[in-house]
Amino acid sequence: MGILKKSNKESAEAALGKEIMKVRTSLTVKGIQLTALKVLPINPRPWYKTRHLTQLNLLLLVPLFASATIGFDGAMMNGLQTLPQWRAYFSHPESAILGAINAVYPIGKLIGLFPSTWLSDRYGRKRPMFVGFILLFIGTVVQGASQNIAMLIISRFLLGFGTAFLAQPSPILITELAYPTQRGKITSLYNTFYYFGAVLAAWSTYGTFRLHSTWSWRIPSIMQGAFPVIQFCFFFFIPESPRWLVAKGRVEEGRSILVKYHAGGDEASSLVDYEIREMEDNIRLEQLINSQSSYLDLIRTPANRRRTFVAAILGFYTQWSGNSVISYYLTLVLNTIGITSVSSQALINGLLQIFNWFAAVVAGAMMVDRIGRRKLFLISTGGMLASYIIWTVLSSVFTTTLNQRVGNTVVVFIFIYYFFYDIAFTPLMPAYVVEIYQYTLRGRGVTAAYTVNYLALILGNFVNPLAMKAIGWHYYIVFCVLLTISFTLIWFFFPETKGHTLEEIAEIFDRPIGNGAEVDHVGNDQEKVGSHIEVPKRES
């Protein structure tokens, strides 16, 4: 009986293997005969003068603003902690209580990830966003009306839980809707909008700290609902993901969306034919390999284990590269270098958010297709490490000399550090994660990365204030070590993905691990992955 079962299992695996090879062969032949580059319609005009691309990109602002909602929270909490009105009203929370107030937000996001992923895969990318808007409206009202610590903590849990229903599907929807030549930049822009929200939050607290009443913190708290309200007003104009529709057998609906937004209404578009064929064939292949019913698919094959390992590295180091100390506890950092006035701390917080947004957009998101994802990660991590080492040394000198010029220099290096953080970790989390997972695992893959990310954030929100209070600047040494490890892991495990469609990127991970120099093809040309595809006279 055992031999018979083994024989049947081997026969089934052999049959599956043949089917997979058949589809792979079909994809290779089609890829050689007709590449995305060859079917892009010729259009000498820039995208902002092309009506259907302008319309598509304006609609993509709705999911892009989801990141602004998340960014508002971090900067707002930094700002509120500088306000004596907020501290006095909530009985001067410190250490454990302060950690709980901040940590309950990512705890809510973590719990909300799994139902939002289920809704996204089963009912479409838009359905969880609608749920998220409702939850955020409720959470904002409760936060603005908070009467005590308990009410504040409950409101922040609701806000975190609701945010997950926007954070999980939004980058996926952007990636699956974006025009092929713009996908890398637009998906990378998603997380840069974190700072758009942070700018509004930081300056709202800077503007209200002069109010000698609870409105000094209630106004920024209520303003946290501004972005969800704007998004909700335009939400129903966003199309559903064509890839989700194709996967559900609703091919004509998916085609009609691509015809409208990628081809400007051209029913005979070769680009749309290519995109639909590529989606159908790759989804069929992925469904043969993945069960679509279990998170275990994330580690079932060597290629998926590598994807998940990369996603986990990125999820963890997005929070533990030293940034979380500043993101939620800038006040504690500034206290260690002698900058203690409310006005100065609020001003630095506001200027830092503007700087972050500029760096993330101009030096990060706009460079992903020119420099490449892997190089940006390496430059970013190396720059952060050098900045943190100098920052640590200067902090040590300040504690010995109390020289305020040294303390002010630390502020300069905080900005330099954030420049390097912003060029990669801001735009490419979750853009890189969305890219490396194939369609059938994209939702679960993003959830896995966010799960690690939120767990790391929760840990940091409890550990950071305690460590900063106990050992001060010595805590920075931990991040110097972690950044060294991060650089090493990125060097060995992060492949380049620029210059490829979402479906083509899967092939990179199905090949043996190198040190970033994997080789792929575009049409009949052999080239290193990540070489820049120039399309000077085609739509872009």
Residue 263 CA: distances (Å) to CA of 43, 184, 274: 11, 19, 12
Identity at 533, one-letter amino acid code: I
**Quick check: is 527 in a domain?**
no
Q: So what's the pLDDT on residue 307? A: 94
CATH number of the domain residue 136 falls in? 1.20.1250.20
Q: So what's the pLDDT on residue 138? A: 95
Is the pLDDT score of 433 beyond 90? yes
Name the 3-class secondary structure at 40: coil
In 3D space, the residue among 530, 520, 434, 445 whose CA is nearest the CA of residue 178 turns out to be: 434
Q: How many CB atoms lie within 10 A of CB 321?
A: 23
Cβ(434)–Cβ(172) below 8 Å:
yes
- Please identify which residue in the block is written with the tokens 């996603």: 311
Least confident of 192-206, 224-238, 444-458: 192-206
Which one-letter DSSP state was computed for residue 520?
A: E
Q: So what's the pLDDT on residue 14? A: 52
Number of domains comprising the chain: 1
In this predicted model, what pLDDT tens digit does every residue of 255-313 receive, in sequence order? 999 999 999 999 999 999 999 998 888 888 777 766 556 788 899 888 899 999 999 99
Element (H, E) at 470: helix 439-471
Q: So what's the pLDDT on residue 95? A: 66
Element (H, E) at 521: strand 519-522
**Quick check: is 2 in a domain?**
no
In a 13 Å sphere around the CA of 174, the CA atoms on its Cβ side amount to: 30
Q: So what's the pLDDT on residue 128? A: 96
First-to-last C-alpha distance (Å) of the chain: 60
**Quick check: is 281 in a domain?**
no
Cβ(346)–Cβ(80) below 8 Å:
no
pLDDT confidence tier of residue 93, bands split at 50, 70 and 90: confident
Q: So what's the pLDDT on residue 536? A: 39
> Whole-model pTM?
0.79
In this predicted model, what pLDDT tens digit does every residue of 161-176 receive, in sequence order? 999 999 999 999 999 9
Which one-letter DSSP state was computed for residue 371?
A: T
**Quick check: is 238 in a domain?**
yes
Q: Locate all alpha helices (DSSP H) within 212-322, ordered by sequence.
A: 215-223, 226-234, 242-247, 251-262, 270-289, 302-317
Q: Cα separation of 29 and 493, whole Å?
A: 29
The packing angle between helices 215-223 and 61-82, to 10°, is: 160
Pairing of strands 525-528, 519-522: antiparallel
Mean pLDDT, residues 175-197 taken together = 90
**Quick check: is 265 in a domain?**
no
The two most distant CA atoms of the chain are separated, in Å, by: 81
In a 13 Å sphere around the CA of 492, the CA atoms on its Cβ side amount to: 7
Is the pLDDT score of 359 beyond 50? yes
Is the pLDDT score of 181 beyond 80? yes
Cβ(395)–Cβ(148) below 8 Å:
no
Q: So what's the pLDDT on residue 478? A: 93
Q: So what's the pLDDT on residue 232? A: 94
Q: Locate all alpha helices (DSSP H) within 34-125, ordered by sequence.
A: 36-39, 51-59, 61-82, 84-89, 95-123
Per residue, the 3-state secondary structure of 300-352, as one string, reads CCHHHHHHHHHHHHHHHHCCCCCHHHHHHHHHHHHHCCCCCCHHHHHHHHHHH
pLDDT confidence tier of residue 18, bands split at 50, 70 and 90: low
Is the pLDDT score of 528 beyond 50? no
Give the residue numbers spanning the domain of 56.
49-243+292-504
Name the 3-class secondary structure at 294: coil
Cβ(396)–Cβ(459) below 8 Å:
no
Least confident of 114-128, 421-435, 515-529: 515-529
Is the pLDDT score of 500 beyond 90? no
**Quick check: is 166 in a domain?**
yes
Residue 113 CA: distances (Å) to CA of 106, 129, 296: 10, 12, 17
Mean pLDDT, residues 103-126 taken together = 92
Regarding predicted confidence, which is higher, 254 or 84? 254
Is the pLDDT score of 513 beyond 60? no
Least confident of 240-249, 256-265, 414-423, 493-502: 493-502
Is the pLDDT score of 46 beyond 60? yes
Name the average pLDDT for the chain.
83
Mean pLDDT, residues 419-430 taken together = 93
Identity at 115, one-letter amino acid code: P
**Quick check: is 351 in a domain?**
yes
Least confident of 52-56, 291-295, 357-361: 291-295
Name the 3-class secondary structure at 83: coil
Is the pLDDT score of 326 beyond 60? yes
Is the pLDDT score of 526 beyond 50? no
In a 13 Å sphere around the CA of 508, the CA atoms on its Cβ side amount to: 30
pLDDT confidence tier of residue 37, bands split at 50, 70 and 90: low
Is the pLDDT score of 209 beyond 80? no
Is the pLDDT score of 530 beyond 50? no
Most confident region among 285-289, 322-326, 379-383, 468-472 by mean pLDDT: 379-383
List, in sequence order, every residue forming a beta bridge with 521; answer none if it has no partner.
526
Q: So what's the pLDDT on residue 538? A: 47
Residue 214 CA: distances (Å) to CA of 144, 163, 186, 218, 488: 10, 25, 39, 6, 48
Q: So what's the pLDDT on residue 380? A: 96
**Quick check: is 481 in a domain?**
yes
